[in-house]
Amino acid sequence: MELKIIAVAIIIISVLGGLVVMEEKKIAQLHKEREQALAFANAETSNTTFYKNKLGRETAKTELLDLTLRNTRELRDNERLVYLGQFAGINQRLNNLDEMSQIHLRFFRNFKLPLRDTVMLNIDSTLLPAKVFSYKDSLNIVQGTIQGKEIQPHIEIKVPLQGVVYWQRKKILGLRIGRKKWYSDITSVNPFVKITSQELIRVNKK
């Protein structure tokens, strides 16, 4: 009889111990998610830094952010995530979402283009004096006409992007022996295109 009581007591203690461990893990996860959400909300829009890569092209480097699926659902109306709603392939529960990203680009170039005299055919078949300008390379076309006080530009910009996602260990005493941190680097072969910021967020479903 005593052995049965002891056995039952052991089982009850084991079950209670398991429940305590599960509850502790749940509390720890909730704490982690709370801290993660606060960090995301308080962070700047982008932590992008810039460097010249081996080909001399300016490259944007950003540390990946992690959000749990629960936090992603809670923050989906945040101005930094509201864009998710435009994609038809993402289901309402977001459980088929793995990563999300934003990249901001800017095209900049100062042009000094020569003007050429020409004539344009009017709708009444009369000829109108005008001037034309043009710049063209393998990635960019800027051309147009000037007629009187009106400028009619035509602009085509190709923006090829190249990027990688990789990890590096945090340096401790000059040695990369710390925890892994994940980064996204992206660049463009078009020298007129500047990447002003990027943000890559990984959805953690564990």
Span 151-202, pLDDT tens digits = 889 999 999 999 999 998 877 777 767 788 889 999 999 999 999 989 899 9
What's residue 13's pLDDT? Answer: 59
> What pairs with residue 163 in β-bridges?
186
pLDDT score of 114: 85
Q: Is the pLDDT of residue 22 over 50?
A: yes
Q: Looking at the predicted structure, is the pLDDT value of residue 18 above 90?
A: no
For the chain, give the mean pLDDT: 81
**What pLDDT, on the 0 to 100 scale, is given for residue 147?**
85
pLDDT of 20 > 50? The answer is: no
User: What is the Cα–Cα distance from 106 to 108, expressed in whole angstroms?
Assistant: 6
Q: What residue spans define the domains of the chain?
A: 1-42, 45-108+159-204, 116-154
Give residue-wise pLDDT tens across range 138-155. Answer: 999 999 998 888 888 999
pLDDT of residue 10: 60
Look at residue 107 in the predicted model and tell me its pLDDT: 87
Backbone φ and ψ of 161, nearest 5° = -115, 140
Separation of alpha carbons 139 and 160, rounded Å: 9
Is 80 exceeded by the pLDDT of residue 1?
A: no
Alpha-carbon gap, residue 74 to 84, rounded angstroms: 13
Confidence of residue 19 (pLDDT cuts 50, 70, 90): very low
DSSP class of residue 53? Answer: -
Long-range CB pairs of 112-115, under 8 A, 24+ apart, other chains included? 113/142, 115/146
Q: What is the pLDDT of residue 21?
A: 47
Q: Which positions ≥6 away from 89 have C-beta within 8 Å?
A: 96
- Has residue 132 got a pLDDT over 70? yes
User: What per-residue confidence (pLDDT) applies to 46?
Assistant: 57
